[in-house]
Structure 1
Amino acid sequence: MMDYQYRRQAFQNLHVEQEEAKNDLKLKVRKSKSMLATIAAFFSFFHHTS
């Protein structure tokens, strides 16, 4: 019985870690997209001024 509870706990921990990793990745993607948008806007502005 103890083995089952241990495995269940480990599985739950794995699931939580997977969710955290997904959220972390989403946050990083959102940040990098906004950085890319900023850089693109800067370059297009720079291109029009020269």
Structure 2
Amino acid sequence: MMDYQYRRRAFQNLHVEKEEAIKDLKQKTKKSKSMLASIATFFSFFHHTS
């Protein structure tokens, strides 16, 4: 019985960690997309001025 509870708790923790990792990844991709957009804007501006 103890083994079942332990495995269930471990599985729940894994699920929570997976959800947190997915959220973290989404936030990172949002940041990198905005960073890429600002870099692209900068380069297009730089290209037009030179």
TM-score of the two chains, using structure 2 as the length reference: 0.94
Q: How many residues align?
A: 50
Structure 1's consecutive aligned runs of 4 or more residues displaced over 6 angstroms after TM superposition are: none
Residue number in structure 1 paired with 2:17? 17
CA RMSD of aligned residues (A): 0.6
Structure 1 regions of 5+ residues with no counterpart? none
Structure 2 regions of 5+ residues with no counterpart? none
The alpha-carbon deviation at position 49 of structure 1 amounts to 1.1
In 2, distance between residues paired with 1:6 and 1:39? 49
